[in-house]
Amino acid sequence: MPLNYAKSAMLLVLLTAIFVAMGGFVGGQSGLVVAFVMALVMNGLALWKSDQLVLSMQGAHEVPPGTGNGLHTMVADLAHRAELPMPRVYLMDSPQPNAFATGRSPEKGAVCVSTGLLDMLQPQEVAGVVAHELAHIKNRDTLTMALAATLGGAISMLAQWLQFGMLFGGRNGNNRHGRLATMAAALLAPFAAMIVQMAISRSREYQADRMGAGICGNPLWLASALAKIQQAVRGIPNPAAEENPASAHLFIINPLTGRGMDNLFSTHPDTGNRIAELEKLATEMGITGTGDIEHPRGSAGGSFAPWLNRPSGGSARGIGG
């Protein structure tokens, strides 16, 4: 995927330039040098540790094989269908139903779902969500997404720190240099958000929806999940995401409430449009209900997705424990 690697490199260069420029505004030439050194360290961390940083931001913990048997079985089945290595499986202790994927390559991939997702969705809907996240891993979108979350978040936090310092009369608050630093901070935070939006193209979500539908075998599973998640997100906040708005683009549905600066990080296409595309795809595939599934070639109906053999109408919570 040379194009995605090129986009990741461009993202690194642009975010590094913003961070270094901010250092110059704050500390002059010496600040420029310090910011450049810090940027080199951050770039290394973003490239090699961005997945761990993102998972840590969300308070996610790994689910060892055997403890979340049903969830592991589901992810393993879907990864096999997607022709991917088995990703690590993580769980977020959050009542908001949501999920994301991370990892710099398919070999280092990780899928994270929330406890709220398992509580509110049926197993086939969870499968649609997991398949969407596996599509991001297969497309190698996760590298760019993690870079954007790590570096964009660092820039925004620095901008907020500068503004906070000026508000309470930091040592540069009464001179021209301090005022310029504050002005730069006010401009750079939205600019960083704009770069995140450009780097994480909305078309990637449509591509992952379509590929995910093929992986799980039924576009209506994901369509139903998106509708439920969108409805729930409006009333259930995600404090970890609110504290790190630059990570919002990672999630299958924007987890932010839309207050204040959060709107700057709205990178998701309209959920209704995504559902319409999935319903159109289901028609093309000849699928008319959520009970239908397109099985892999040569597989029997019962050999795939044993986690579907659960009473209808219940949540998927049992597959996580």
In this prediction, residue 279 carries a pLDDT of 96
Note whether 196 and 148 are within 8 A (CB): yes
Could you give the domains of the chain?
20-51+145-199 (no CATH), 57-143+202-294 (3.30.2010.10)
CB atoms within 10 A of CB 263: 14
Per-residue pLDDT band at 296 (split at 50, 70, 90): very low
Q: What percent of the chain has pLDDT over 70?
A: 69
Is the pLDDT confidence value at 138 over 90? yes
Q: At what angle do helices 69-81 and 123-138 cross, to 10 degrees?
A: 50
Is the pLDDT confidence value at 302 over 60? no
Token pair in block for residue 117: 């997702």
In this prediction, residue 185 carries a pLDDT of 65
Tens digit of pLDDT for each residue in 12-37? Answer: 777 778 778 777 766 678 878 888 88
Token pair in block for residue 320: 């996580």
Mean pLDDT value of segment 109-121: 95
In this prediction, residue 311 carries a pLDDT of 47
Is residue 315 packed enough to be buried (19+ CB in 10 Å), middle (13-18) or exposed (0-12)? middle
In this prediction, residue 168 carries a pLDDT of 57
Q: Give the residue from 48, 94, 12, 35 showing the smallest Cα distance to 320.
A: 94
Note whether 19 and 27 are within 8 A (CB): no
Which residue bears the tokens 């009542």?
95
The active-site residue, picked from 107, 133, 205, 294, is 133
Distances (CA, A) of 296 to 77, 96, 144, 304: 11, 32, 30, 8
What single letter denotes the amino acid at residue 123?
Answer: P
Distances (CA, A) of 34 to 31, 41, 183, 212, 242: 5, 11, 20, 43, 29
DSSP β-bridge partners for residue 251: 100
Which residue bears the tokens 């055997």?
66
Token pair in block for residue 114: 């929330």
133 has catalytic annotation: yes
In this prediction, residue 181 carries a pLDDT of 61
Mean pLDDT value of segment 73-82: 94
CA pair distance 84, 101, nearest whole angstrom: 13
Mean pLDDT value of segment 203-210: 90
* Residue 214 CA neighbour count, 13 Å, CB half: 11
Token pair in block for residue 73: 């079985």
CA pair distance 196, 113, nearest whole angstrom: 22
Note whether 35 and 19 are within 8 A (CB): yes
